[in-house]
Structure 1
Amino acid sequence: MELQGKIKKIDETKTFGNNGFRKREMVVTTEEQYPQHILVEFIQDKCDLLNNYQVGQPVKIGINLRGREWVSPQGETKYFNSIQGWRIENLQPNSSQGNTPPPPAADQFEPASDFNEEDHDDLPF
């Protein structure tokens, strides 16, 4: 599944337990008639995917929905859902994310001086 929107918040990576479990949360605001603020968590090595992103950036995130069951000491069963991100992609053109700038407009090229309409080309159309 995918989620698109603008980054509203990115938390720092938090480490839990003796095994060093890592988790980093972010909030993405969808851009629709009724915008939603969706909490997405990245775990373990996926935490580092957020290092080059900032608040306000439009992104597309690959997500998985996760659910789990928990039984309290009193025997009451509860269910919890989470949204885990596994990929993130910048949707902002021409940012510092490595996107190339658009090609120059056609009128910025120098006209060909040796063009001949009669020359044969090998194009199939």
Structure 2
Amino acid sequence: MDLSGKIITQLPEVGGSSKSGNAWRKQEYILETGGQYPKKVCLSVWGDKIEQFGLKVGEQVTLGIDVESREYNGRWYTEVKVYKVDRTHGGIGPSEGPEVDTFYSESEEDKLPF
């Protein structure tokens, strides 16, 4: 599932050790979607992906997300985990330039066998 919007807040990084003794860390961000009725969504980035994705406040992004809920002591908790980041430039797609024929350059035109 994809989610697009602007990163408006970066929450403090948290970390610890699991029951098996493995270290873990998590960075959370708040993303605000666009449109007439914008929504705010808390997103989680885990482990090495924190540096790999390098999300910054103010950035426009499209994120690949997984949504998962789990039960603990009779209550349900939902987490939105980021697995992919695509950066956009102010909501504009790839730059549209003139179409260029890359098969040959002008100096090679006479060398073509046909």
Output the TM-score relative to the length of structure 1: 0.65
1:13 Cα deviation after fit: 3.2
Consecutive unaligned residues of structure 2, counting only runs of 5 or more, are: 99-105, 107-113
Aligned counterparts, 1:12-91, within 5 A = 12-17=12-17, 18-51=21-54, 53-71=55-73, 77-91=74-88
State how 1:110-121 maps to structure 2 within 5 Å.
none
Are 1:29 and 1:36, in contact at CA under 8 Å, matched by a contact in 2?
A: yes
CA contact (8 A) 1:49 1:87 kept: no
Query: Equivalents in 2 of 1:33, 1:101: separation in Å?
Result: 26
SS of the equivalent of 1:31 reads coil
Q: CA RMSD in A?
A: 3.2
Larger Cα Rg: Structure 1 or Structure 2?
Answer: 1
Is the alpha carbon distance of 1:12 and 1:49 closer, same or farther for their aligned partners in structure 2, counting shifts above 3 Å?
Answer: farther
The number of aligned residues is 101
Runs of 4+ in 1 over 6 A off after TM superposition: none
Structure 1: segments with no counterpart, 5+ residues: 72-76, 94-99, 105-111, 113-121
